[in-house]
Structure formats: C-alpha cells, structure tokens
Amino acid sequence: MPKYSYSAFDSKGKKKNGTIVASSDSEANTKLSSMGLMPTKVLQVDESSASINKKKDVGSVKIKKKSGLAFGKVIKQEELTIFTRQTATLIQAGLPLLRSLEIMIRQEKNIRFKVVLEQIAEYVKSGGTFSDALAQHPKIFEKLFINMVRAGEAGGVLDVVLSRLAGFMEKAQRTKKKVKSAMV
C-alpha cells in the first residue's frame, strides 16, 4: 500500500506533519479526519526513491476543495465580514495581497477558517487569482462575493471592492439584527 506524507491541523490548531499508509488519497484524507486532523496537504511518497512524487500531488486545490466543502457553514458571517474589512484595510495600507492573507492567517482564531485561509494563500502563492482561490470554497464565499473580487482584480481596485463588500455585509448584518429584534 502507498504511503502519504501530510500536513494537517489538530483540534487545538497545531500543525502536524507525518506519513500515513492508505490505498488512495481519499482514504488518506478519511483516515486523517478520523484521527481528528484537518488535512491541508497530502502527497504520495514514492517508495523507490523515498521522495515525494509530484505527479501524485493531491494537495493544494483538490484537497482544499474537499476540506472547504466539509466545513459547510461553520464559518460565521461575522467572521467573513471581519476578514473582508481587515483585508481591505491591509491592502489599502499598501500591503500586497499575499502578505495581507498571511497576516490574517496568523490572527484568525477559528481553526477551520484558518485552514481555508491557508489554502487560499497557497493557491495565490502558486500563481492563481484571489477570486479563483475563493471559488474553491463555494460554501463559504458566495458567488456575488467571488464575482465582485474578480471585478476588483480586473480593474485594479481590489481594496475598494473589498471595502464596499465589507460595508455591504455590515449593513446586511445590522438589518438582520433589527429584524430579529423586531420579531421578539
């Protein structure tokens, strides 16, 4: 049976690295999840040379998409709004997108959202666009959010778009609270 090298987070948010024996990459992910780990990268180890076989790389996009789908709506709208506002502020201050994402990852307390942000940063680092990275997590980022970011990237005004999105999200949350309190 093949061996897989993995990077994952435990329930306390600590990064764990190791190897696991499994018949496929999906079985490796299942085993890691049953061990209470959230995999961020899984690579098949080449038995003959004891090096990582790049052709069997199942990390980045493929696993990330599965991981994001598994999280569902565990990430609250308030967390997403704060992320959007703070990212907009960092970009407006002149920081590059990737550096802004790294700062947001360090500050994030929700382990699941932290994993998603790491996956997004890895995708951007590998040359993908921010909007495509967000699109890998459709249960977290809505189509409107993704398309607005895509438009901001195309127009070179990502900071302005993120700021407006944050304002829109904050206003929607205030309205939702007012409606809830009126119903009581």
- Token pair recorded at residue 15: 């990064």
The answer to whether 159 and 92 have CB atoms below 8 angstroms apart is yes
Among the ranges given (20-24, 37-41, 61-65), the one the predictor scored with the smallest mean pLDDT = 61-65
- 20-28 contacts, C-beta under 8 A, 24 or more apart: 25/56, 25/58, 25/62, 25/63, 28/4
Looking at residue 59, its pLDDT comes to 41
- Tens digit of each residue's pLDDT (9 = 90 or more) over 112-152: 999 999 999 999 999 999 999 999 999 999 999 999 999 99
Looking at residue 27, its pLDDT comes to 82
d(CA 141, CA 162): 13
Residue with tokens 């435990």: 10
Q: What is the mean pLDDT of residues 98-115?
A: 93
Q: Compare 73 and 30 and report the one with higher pLDDT.
A: 30
d(CA 158, CA 88): 8
Cβ neighbours for 75, distance < 8 A, ≥ 6 positions apart? 110, 112, 113, 116, 140
Q: What is the mean pLDDT of residues 27-38?
A: 80
Looking at residue 84, its pLDDT comes to 95
Cβ neighbours for 72, distance < 8 A, ≥ 6 positions apart? 139
Confidence class of residue 47 from pLDDT cuts 50, 70 and 90?
A: low
**Alpha-carbon distances, residue 107 vs 54, 87, 110, 144 (angstroms):** 31, 12, 9, 26
Strand 15-21 versus strand 38-46 pairing type: unpaired
What is the topology classification, in CATH, of domain 77-183?
A: Receptor-associated Protein (1.20.81)
Looking at residue 157, its pLDDT comes to 94
Q: What is the mean pLDDT of residues 43-61?
A: 49
Greatest mean pLDDT among 11-15, 33-37, 116-120, 180-184? 116-120
Q: Compare 26 and 162 and report the one with higher pLDDT.
A: 162
Q: What percent of the chain has pLDDT over 70?
A: 83
